[in-house]
Amino acid sequence: MKPIVDINDLDRRIYEETLRDFLPERMIDIHSHVWLDRLKKNVKRDRVVSWPSLVAKENPIEDHLECYKLLFAGKQITPMIFPGLVNADSADGLNDYVSRCAGQHGLPALLFSVPQWSAEEVERKVLQGGFLGIKVYLNLAPAYLPRQEIRIFDFLPHHQLELLQEKGWIVMLHIPRDARLRDPVNLAQILEIERRYPGVRVILAHVGRAYCNEDVGNAFEVLKETERLVVDFSANTNARVFEQLIRALGSKRILFGSDLPILRMRMRRICENGIYINLVPKGLYGDVSGDPNMREVGGNEAAKLTLFMYEELLAFRQAAERAGLSAGDLEDVFYNNSAAVIEEVRKGR
């Protein structure tokens, strides 16, 4: 039987020599996905990048938990889980699966929320499913909106924010728009959420999708004025962005997240003209010639590629060392900060 993730000698050496002692013994992965392919119903990727679908057709909870054992020998990992991409037709089935998995394994979880759901519907689904809040995504914005014009409130409507404010629940926020973190509309609406809904526990995913240096602009000068926003660095490998994040927000407002299962990908990320490109071994993920975010390499270059997960953590280690984070700071980033958010929400029930 093929292993969930192939760990080779390079991967083992990187983990044992560079990451094992850097990482705390306990970790919370605040950003991870589980789903079954049979529960999807015509979920389209027309507004999102297609390459993540090449890594895993599905990610059952058993595979998910086994993956942590393979990637992090000797560590104790607790993931917060939510579905992969959903649409209105598949949301209930995929959320129900996550709810069952969370209950069976004692894991925190989020409801993948559809913006058309009323506040009453969201409240009922969160409480019945034992969720700690919601995950939202730009693909669920109204179909008539061009992808480039989608705003946060198009898929995270005010009536749902009012509910989250009342309950003190989490929202995992993946921001839209081609300019990513530097986009002034995104920044204005993030600040508006903080001002109008101070009780909402906003987790900004992927460092606001600032995968390249060009994605930042003046965002950290703006966001350092926030008081409650927390940020995960899932699926991001940019050490310079991480360092700016640390210096702007400090170690208490940064959370480790992976975005598994896509971090099982064997790759290295580069940026060209402000566009991120995943370098992958030739032939490993099929024909990627039409994907601007993918490029195949061969020979010695391919042999030097490790796993996306390790690339993310190596970049964060580099940033942490440059910013002077202590062992205690790292325990905050990788465990304590997420544990505090989860515990506060659970106590508010």
* pLDDT at residue 118 greater than cutoff 70: yes
β-partners of residue 202 are 171
Tokens of 221: 């000068």
* Cis check: omega of the bond before 146, within 30 degrees of 0: no
Per-residue pLDDT tens over the stretch 148-157: 999 999 999 9
Instruction: Find the CATH number of the domain harbouring 225.
Output: 3.20.20.140
Q: Rounded mean pLDDT of the chain?
A: 96
Q: Cα 40 from chain centroid?
A: 20
The amino acid sitting at 191 is: L
Per-residue pLDDT tens over the stretch 35-87: 999 999 876 666 788 899 999 999 999 999 999 999 999 999 999 999 998 88
Q: Give residue 191's domain range.
A: 9-265+308-347
Share of the chain above pLDDT 70, in %: 98
- Confirm whether 331 is domain-assigned: yes
Give the model's pLDDT for residue 87: 87
Give the model's pLDDT for residue 348: 81
- Confirm whether 283 is domain-assigned: no
Per-residue pLDDT tens over the stretch 194-247: 999 999 999 999 999 999 999 999 999 999 999 999 999 999 999 999 999 999
Give 198's Cβ-side CA count (13 Å radius). 3
Give the model's pLDDT for residue 88: 86
Question: Which is it for the CA torsion 38, 39, 41, 45, positive or negative?
Answer: negative
Give the length of the chain: 349
- Confirm whether 321 is domain-assigned: yes
- Confirm whether 63 is domain-assigned: yes
Give the model's pLDDT for residue 272: 97
Give the model's pLDDT for residue 50: 86
* pLDDT at residue 127 greater than cutoff 80: yes
**Confidence class of residue 248 from pLDDT cuts 50, 70 and 90?**
very high
What CA–CA distance (Å, rounded) separates 123 from 41? Answer: 24
**Confidence class of residue 16 from pLDDT cuts 50, 70 and 90?**
very high
- Confirm whether 110 is domain-assigned: yes
For tokens 């894991």, the residue is: 107
- Confirm whether 336 is domain-assigned: yes
Give the model's pLDDT for residue 221: 97
- The tally of domains found in the chain comes to 1
* pLDDT at residue 107 greater than cutoff 90: yes
DSSP state for residue 285 in the 8-state scheme: T
Give the model's pLDDT for residue 2: 76
